[in-house]
Structure 1
């Protein structure tokens, strides 16, 4: 029985020595860089993250803030896990304030997306559906009747291009019909 206890104590001592040797000392890291260690500031040991990993995630999800992507990659160390998290949740948690002491914000101009308006270095998506789908010319046309079945069922087209054009037209009809209904309700409110 005493041999089992000795083996357990020896194993525990070896594990503690191994952890002590492999863990970065907070005093040494703090004194060498002048600030807290990344592990102490973030609350976890950050993984190695390259700019290529961040760019890969941002190429798939251009609306995600780069700092949120980098922070999640520091946590997971995997592009696949980060993209799965975005797909499952639809967002990534923002990094804590301590993240910005270690990784200051960088104002990197992001590439402009097709169809987006640019103002300066930053790209901003259109603020409404009319601008997003380029329907400004059709809005001014007041002769378009109010369609109660806008965007309804469409016939199956033979080619992919025709199906895409049909879908775009149905979207445009739905947006214009919704705008007409909104204007009609606003006029009714003003009249009463």
Structure 2
């Protein structure tokens, strides 16, 4: 009987030592992160987050980071976005461990010096008329019917013809929208003049 008790005590000591050794590999921060989040967070890098953010810029950065902490894989996170269209928002406990990462808007490249062949970024003040070079068509107003804008395009034979057709349809849409806006402004002008 004494031998059985000795074996049980030795077995209990071995189990306790084994648990102590394996649990000491985790740092206290990892244990608190696991208990706070409900899962053991994987090791991820900012490059992994940036990769997914580059593929899906409309997904919030914190959602991406939270999912990567769960999966540890860029591929799994990207597949989840493709399948579902979104990622779950992190719980409030996530923000206690990982403060919100408000991402600054992407830096604009510096304007190229005069005479260089690279295109410069367009200022935000450009309107669609200038962007699509429709100044001439605005000066010579032509009435565009809604049927012209809403009609289906004909599939052209060559990519160049398809591109030209697309540009023409864009121009018609922009000019039709401009006509509607001018008509609305003209209707609103008599009302505001009569009401004053």
Settle same-fold status: TM greater than 0.5: yes
- Long gaps (5+) in structure 1: 1-16, 119-125
- Long gaps (5+) in structure 2: 1-15, 110-118, 192-196
1:83 alignment counterpart: 78
The CA distance in 2 between the partners of 1:131 and 1:115, in whole Å, is: 17
The CA distance in 1 between the partners of 2:136 and 2:31, in whole Å, is: 58
1:141 alignment counterpart: 138
The number of aligned residues is 161
Among 43, 58, 75, the residue aligned to 2:38: 43
Local SS of the residue matching 2:50: helix
The CA distance in 2 between the partners of 1:77 and 1:103, in whole Å, is: 16
The CA distance in 2 between the partners of 1:155 and 1:36, in whole Å, is: 63
The CA distance in 2 between the partners of 1:191 and 1:58, in whole Å, is: 50
CA RMSD of aligned residues (A): 4.2
The CA distance in 1 between the partners of 2:178 and 2:45, in whole Å, is: 46
Q: Deviations over 1:160-186 (max 9, x none)?
A: 243234223313322331332233234
Does 1:154 pair with 2:149? no
Larger RCO (CA under 8 A, 6+ residues apart): 2
2:68 alignment counterpart: 73
Matches within 5 A, 1:150-189: 150=149, 152-189=151-188
Q: TM-score, length-normalised on structure 1?
A: 0.59
